[in-house]
Structure 1
Amino acid sequence: MQQLRFGIPKGSLEEATIDLFGQAGWKISGRSRNYFPAIDDDEMTCALVRSQEMGPTVASGALDCGLTGLDWVMETEADVETVCDLVYSRASDKPARWVLIVDRESPIKGVEDLQGKKVVTELVGFTKRYLAERGIEAKVDFSWGATEGKVVQGLADAAIEITETGSTIRAHGLRIVCDLLHTHTVLIANKEALKDPFKKNKIEQVALLLTAALAARHKVLLKMNAPVAKLDAIVAVLPALNSPTVNPLTDEKWVAVETVVDRDEVRELIPKLRANGAEGILELDIRKLC
């Protein structure tokens, strides 16, 4: 039996990825320290690989595809195909940012001020290319963890670090100068694997369902009963994906209405719907949205 060899990012994205697969319809399980977790699909096998190593591992053919950050694909310049974008993380479903940070009192105001300075980062290859493209000569050193601390301690003039909110950076008395790269999770595939009909079809299945699961996280299904006489007013306040579904009830004076809306709009919508005559309003979670 053919099997798709899939890479699960080990580390900060691991739990979020397993949760996303669960929502998409696959159960991934494994004991602690097990680098080959089980998946309830006979057509797939999984391996845990660090995000930083996923690109080269997939490019080499050791895995057919996997999930990693766009930043690490760019860092390693891995020769892989990006199948789809999947914006999710452990903390939130928002893109992360690689930012230039300095001490709050530093005279550095822009990237151009890094000329002749020392910069520390985990994203060494990308940073060197970024600066070289702008004609800036700076010493770029690799930093594995505690990157911000090196700036605080005066061991480096600046750092390139990843953040989502910037709150930790500010708490350490540091300042964000500018963004260098916005990154998110991507599904990457080995180019030869995509030439295999079975693997290509399986990769596309995974991409479709993971994308559908993520899309559903930001939407809910609203269902309600509406008086026919007030239907136009009720429909007018519904921001439907296309148009709401309206079905007759046994009482000809009433209809059932349902539609998909943004999750964060519900708290404003329900009072408006009630004020316009809707009754029996239900809010339901959605597992997938294609």
Structure 2
Amino acid sequence: MSKLRIAVQKSGRLNDDSMRILKNIGISIENGKDQLKASARNFPLEVFYLRNGDIPQYLRDGVVDVAIIGENVLIEKGNDIDFVERLGFSKCKVSIAVPKESKANTLKDLDGKRIATSYPETVKKYLKEYNIDAQLHTISGSVEIAPNIGLADGICDIVSSGSTLFKNGLKEIEVLFKSEAVLAVSPLISEERRAILEKIQFRIQSVLKGQNSKYILLNAPNDKLENILKLLPGMRSPTVLPLAEEGWSSVHTVISKNAFWEIIDELKANGAEGILVCPIEKMVL
């Protein structure tokens, strides 16, 4: 049987998160230190540990079938490659920043100026879209230092927490786009391997739905049950069970973690008691 070949970043945070999601979907990887390729013990999968910037070309050539890669890298080096799933981790922005003392506050202020970046194709396309003529300096590594050494008037780089910009005396003036890890697919993937990919996608979707949801249990007075149920959209509808105490019911359902506090406040206002909220490991629909 064919094995699906998946590329992940060789080292760094994206590697850690990639291996974590494979573990969360039940795939055990036999990888030793410094291995460039490893096989799964319990799934038809081979993992290739590659440099992040090389992955788009490996996908394009069909050397690997799929990859967990930052959307920002895909936009820069693989905008002809499709992805099938957003993975919800390694979130960041690709932003333009300038020194705090700079008079530049908008993208237009960089017209005729110098911008240092590790994403020249992305920046070139963005500047062209807004009719900005700037000189680009392509740098690998610590882009943030470029304005301090007089190489550039501004930079374009990924921004996560913003702490690196702050430490280097920079301020963000433009966000090109937001990025996160995605599951990208080679245009040359075979039908047999695509069938394996679909199984992985199903598992990933179950994990992501679980991470974005909370399981909630509460006690509700029957005379206010109708109002409480209106606040609780479940997968189909909430489960309602009678309690030993007359006039009360136990309600079980799933809610979005993003709406958690708003719903809790409304439930309490409508007489709900004993509210218990639990994380969900996986949710299969």
Same fold, judged at TM 0.5 (above): yes
SS of residue in 2 equivalent to 1:13: helix
Q: Is the 8 A contact 1:56 1:78 kept in 2?
A: no
Gaps of 5+ in 1: 90-94
Give distance in 1, aligned partners of 2:254 and 2:163: 34
Deviations 1:130-183 (CA, angstroms, capped at 9, x unpaired): 223444332212222221112123221110011123233133221111111222
Structure 1 window deviating more from structure 2 (173-182 vs 252-261): it is 252-261
Q: Is the 8 A contact 1:24 1:287 kept in 2?
A: no
Note the C-alpha offset of 1:110.
2.5
Deviations 1:70-111 (CA, angstroms, capped at 9, x unpaired): 22112113542322222212xxxxx41111111112122322
Q: Is the 8 A contact 1:220 1:285 kept in 2?
A: yes
Deviations 1:101-127 (CA, angstroms, capped at 9, x unpaired): 111121223223333322111111211
Structure 1 window deviating more from structure 2 (276-285 vs 21-30): it is 276-285
SS of residue in 1 equivalent to 2:115: strand
Deviations 1:41-73 (CA, angstroms, capped at 9, x unpaired): 341111112222211111111101111122211
1:130 equivalent in structure 2:
126
Structure 2 residue identity aligned to 1:217 = Q
Q: Is the 8 A contact 2:60 2:188 kept in 1?
A: no
1:39 equivalent in structure 2:
40
1:63 equivalent in structure 2:
64
CA RMSD of aligned residues (A): 2.6
1:118 equivalent in structure 2:
114
User: Is the alpha carbon distance of 1:78 and 1:59 closer, same or farther for their aligned partners in structure 2, counting shifts above 3 Å?
Assistant: farther
SS of residue in 1 equivalent to 2:156: strand
1:8 equivalent in structure 2:
8
1:92 equivalent in structure 2:
none
Note the C-alpha offset of 1:6.
0.9
TM superposition score normalised by structure 2: 0.87
Give distance in 1, aligned partners of 2:267 and 2:86: 35
Structure 1 window deviating more from structure 2 (230-239 vs 16-25): it is 230-239
User: Is the alpha carbon distance of 1:119 and 1:274 closer, same or farther for their aligned partners in structure 2, counting shifts above 3 Å?
Assistant: closer
Q: Is the 8 A contact 1:103 1:173 kept in 2?
A: yes
SS of residue in 2 equivalent to 1:137: coil
Is 2:263 aligned against 1:262?
no
- Paired residues in the alignment total 283
Note the C-alpha offset of 1:221.
0.5
Structure 1 residue identity aligned to 2:5 = R
User: Is the alpha carbon distance of 1:29 and 1:248 closer, same or farther for their aligned partners in structure 2, counting shifts above 3 Å?
Assistant: farther
TM superposition score normalised by structure 1: 0.85
Q: Is the 8 A contact 1:59 1:78 kept in 2?
A: no
Note the C-alpha offset of 1:190.
1.4
Note the C-alpha offset of 1:260.
0.7
1:99 equivalent in structure 2:
95
SS of residue in 1 equivalent to 2:94: strand
Structure 1 window deviating more from structure 2 (238-247 vs 211-220): it is 238-247
Give distance in 2, aligned partners of 1:177 and 1:183: 17
Structure 1 window deviating more from structure 2 (277-286 vs 197-206): it is 277-286
Note the C-alpha offset of 1:198.
2.0
Give distance in 2, aligned partners of 1:64 and 1:262: 33
2:173 equivalent in structure 1:
177
Note the C-alpha offset of 1:239.
5.1
Give distance in 2, aligned partners of 1:253 and 1:131: 66
Note the C-alpha offset of 1:15.
0.6
Of the three residues 163, 168, 189, the one matched with 1:167 is 163
Any runs of at least 4 consecutive aligned residues in structure 1 with deviations exceeding 6 A, and if so which?
none
Give distance in 2, aligned partners of 1:190 and 1:117: 38
Is 2:190 aligned against 1:189?
no
SS of residue in 1 equivalent to 2:69: strand
